[in-house]
């Protein structure tokens, strides 16, 4: 399966995407005259573009399921390499929960107003803060690793 995907995977993905685009364009072009005849208010309620959105969601689900199944298959067939990935995942989860426990819900300012507007609870607000802090921390680590590796390569 792996050899098949490495050889023909990009072509298959491109072909499937092209097929979705063709189906979408045919469905839109067949009803565009009726869509143009509608008033602006009725155009907002039109379902002419639903086929493209539904097909895109189907492709998203298929890709997510394929990625999960492929990851499970790789973990089963190569557990030694999977152990490194699982350790990294555990470290990321621990980092997130440490940042979650350190974050506090905003009670004033524009962040608190946005949280109130969208109806976020304190726990959800802390979760968002932990996610943003995790992203910033990991981005900083990635930039630092890039700079350090380039300096190291400079002296090789």
Residues 38-65 have pLDDT tens digits of: 888 888 887 788 888 898 899 899 889 9
Which of these ranges, 8-12, 98-102, 150-154, has the smallest mean pLDDT? 8-12
Q: Which residues span the domain enclosing 34?
A: 1-77
Token pair recorded at residue 26: 């045919």
- Per-residue pLDDT, averaged over 88-101, amounts to 94
65 and 116 inside one domain? no
Reported as a single tens digit per residue, the pLDDT across 1-35 is: 667 777 888 888 889 889 989 988 888 888 888 88
73 and 86 inside one domain? no
Domain count, the chain: 2
Give the end of a domain, one of 43, 58, 77: 77
Which of these ranges, 14-23, 107-116, 131-140, has the smallest mean pLDDT? 107-116
What whole-number distance in Å separates Cα of residue 55 and Cα of residue 43?
21
Give the end of a domain, one of 77, 107, 133: 77
User: In the structure, what pLDDT confidence band is assigned to residue 106 with cuts at 50, 70 and 90?
Assistant: confident
68 and 124 inside one domain? no
């Amino acid at each position: 399966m792996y050899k098949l995907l490495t050889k023909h995977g990009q072509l298959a993905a491109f072909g499937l995407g092209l097929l979705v685009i063709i189906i979408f364009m045919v469905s839109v072009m067949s009803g565009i005259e009726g869509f143009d005849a509608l008033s602006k208010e009725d155009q907002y309620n039109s379902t002419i573009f639903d086929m493209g959105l539904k097909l895109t969601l189907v492709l998203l689900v298929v890709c997510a399921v394929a990625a999960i199944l492929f990851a499970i298959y790789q973990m089963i067939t190569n557990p030694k390499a999977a152990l490194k990935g699982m350790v990294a995942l555990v470290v990321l989860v621990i980092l997130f929960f440490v940042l979650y426990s350190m974050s506090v819900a905003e009670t004033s300012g524009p962040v608190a107003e946005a949280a109130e507007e969208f109806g976020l609870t304190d726990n959800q607000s802390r979760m968002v803060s932990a996610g943003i802090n995790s992203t910033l921390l990991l981005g900083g680590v990635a930039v630092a690793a890039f700079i350090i590796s380039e300096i190291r390569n400079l002296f090789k």
